[in-house]
Amino acid sequence: VIKCKAAVAWEAGKPLSIEEVEVAPPKAHEVRIKIVATAVCHTDAYTLSGADPEGCFPVILGHEGAGIVESVGEGVTKVKKGDTVIPLYIPQCGECKFCQNPKTNLCQKIRITQGKGVMPDGTSRFTCKGKQIYHFMGTSTFSEYTVVADISVAKIDAAAPLDKVCLLGCGISTGYGAAVNTAKVEPGSTCAVFGLGGVGLAVIMGCKIAGASRIIGIDINKDKYAKAKEFGATECISPQESKKSIQEVLVEMTDGGVDYSFECIGNVGVMRAALEACHKGWGVSVIVGVAAAGQEISTRPFQLVTGRTWKGTAFGGWKSVDSVPKLVTEYMSKKIKVDEFVTHTLPFDKINEAFELMHSGK
């Protein structure tokens, strides 16, 4: 058993608490990882807020991390002690019907136990003050050591800077893949990206790499426009600037609508606007943001009858074990940006400040 520091969420709506936790050794087909760096994501904040129907407390959150394998359980063959790895919230077992289908990346092998906050055998590897602590998204990167299933880990280039590539565990991969895998943006196309946070910037990057000729960034926070343009946005607009709806503005700006739109916020009203900003006949809108539990999307069916397509994406459509090492290689060879997404680097005990910075749009 390893004793280490972790940020524990004891209950919903309260700040995280830095505690000493015990991390049990890995069982069969499990891997214990020393986490070197982790990022914070809106999904962690969503669960912490209490709005997540799958949220269990007390829990160790975190799902964008990178580290070094400390030890492996019986039967683990893909990684060994000392390997550099990224934990994966969408695993890839290679055996289930989802893994065997090229149309999806949603491995279902451990989905039920992962959703319940436990390891595949139904138990937790974390304890604190004599209490069992739940796992989160199969990763729990807000701990100096964590245990994950062996299908939930990708071995990456040992030379990669872990304080940067941890972002490939969720946000950057999700946005970039939404553009290149889910939408399959084509050269010369016009794109609209709603929400210019980390995921939105990654979508812009993907659209640019795919050869889009016009990329319109949309956000009510104008402080985000300069960064969006660095990533490839050709122009940025605010929905608050016009009396008309944002979809009407975009349809006028683009002679009938955009070829591809992306919703990167998790707001069902914006999801509708993104679809309706698409061009009749061929426009494709991709939902990337995660809306709160129980919310529903709506539009007039005629929007779809007249040739628009509404799609969704999880982790950018990447089959995780296969793709994450390749994304790290693309970053190392400067094909994709990663460093530019990092705005602040904080010590672990300032994790609550990181959430405050995220909520304030900084």
Same topology, domains 2-169+319-353 and 174-313? Answer is no
State pLDDT tens for residues 254-266: 999 999 999 999 9
Q: Which residue in the block uniquely carries the two structure tokens 């975009």? A: 250
174-313 topology per CATH: Rossmann fold (3.40.50)
Query: In the CATH hierarchy, which top-level class contains the domain 2-169+319-353?
Result: alpha beta
User: What is residue 296's predicted lDDT score, i.e. its pLDDT?
Assistant: 97
d(CA 93, CA 96): 7
| pLDDT reported for residue 293 | 85
CB within 8 A of 159, min separation 6: which ones? 332
Q: How far is CA 167 from CA 2, 46, 149, 294, in A?
A: 26, 18, 20, 28
Helical spans, DSSP H, in 25-86: 42-49
* pLDDT reported for residue 236: 98
In angstroms, the Cα distances linking 227 to 202, 224, 317, 340, 355 are 11, 6, 25, 9, 20
Parts of the chain with a pLDDT under 50: none
Domains of the chain, by residue range, sit at 2-169+319-353, 174-313
User: Which pLDDT score is estimated for 53?
Assistant: 85
- The whole-angstrom separation of Cα 204 and Cα 198 is 10
Residue 107: predicted pLDDT: 98
Question: Tens digit of pLDDT for each residue in 125-172?
Answer: 999 999 999 999 999 999 999 999 999 999 999 999 999 999 999 999
